[in-house]
Amino acid sequence: MSAATFTSFAVAGGTGGLGHLIASELVAVGAKVAVLTRPDSNSKLPPGAEARQALKRLSLFLLPAAAKKAGVKLFVPSYRLAYTLYFTGFFSDIIFTPHIGFDIAKKSISFVGEGHTPVSFTTRPDIARFTAYTLTHLPLEQLSNATLGVEGDRQSFRELVKIFGEVYGESFTANSRSIEDAEKKVEREGLAAFVDFLLISAEKGLAHVGEPQNQLVPGFKPLNVPEALKKYFL
């Protein structure tokens, strides 16, 4: 790690899916990691990380919305607090399930709209590696108030129909619903229609990262969709 970068971190949600991976990657690059936990938590910590119920002598705090639970008395709004946003697209190691619309057993992919809008896909392990490296190697001025995009692949839902067919060796069908019908469902059901909200966002172009900055991590080769399918779903 560079002397000009961060060396100690508090990770909220560090025992969960993505948080655990990020904490583990930070430990792997030599950072000191504290995982913020509740006193009654029995969750397994990432190897090399410590549990902590309060913030102390940390140079950077991930996910500041959880600061209140850690004992923080005052939270400064983001326009006065330096931040780094990571834009990842959909998690390609877990998203391809029937609940989202990817029914592998029935050889069917469902989506909202025409399905031609590009969507970013990145696995959580690749996101964790990118996040840990950039936080520990980039200077503060490059991280401060920055949005960093990481992307394993960019495909439309129509293109995914073809990709799934090639990976599984069978034809997949495309099932489309109108944006209007999906929006009415979201308005009617709220959080119960969260999947529809995600699919609407994808169709409207809100789920691709723009210009990815994968090059910030030397030798970084995140998995594309076919590779993710073969590793996590076959």
List the domain range (segments joined by +) for residue 173.
Answer: 85-123+152-209+218-234
Q: What is the pLDDT of residue 11?
A: 87
Half-sphere exposure of 100 (CA within 13 A, CB side): 14
Which is nearest to 176 in space by CA: 101, 94, 73?
101
* CATH code at position 94: 3.90.25.10
Q: Let me know if residue 142 belongs to a domain.
A: no
Q: Let me know if residue 93 belongs to a domain.
A: yes
Q: Let me know if residue 100 belongs to a domain.
A: yes
Give the tens place of pLDDT for each residue, 136-164. 999 999 999 999 999 999 999 999 999 99
Q: Let me know if residue 4 belongs to a domain.
A: no
- pTM for the full model? 0.84
How far apart CA 143 and CA 148 sit, in angstroms, is 8
Helix axes 225-232, 157-168, angle to 10 degrees: 50
Per-residue burial over 25-61, b if 16 or more Cβ lie within 10 Å, else e, is bbbbeebbbbbbbeeeeeeebbeebeebeeeeebebb
Q: Let me know if residue 43 belongs to a domain.
A: no
Q: Let me know if residue 30 belongs to a domain.
A: no
Give the tens place of pLDDT for each residue, 174-208. 999 999 999 999 999 999 999 999 999 999 999 99
The total domain count for the chain is 1
Answer yes or no: are the C-beta atoms of 112 and 203 closer than 8 Å: yes
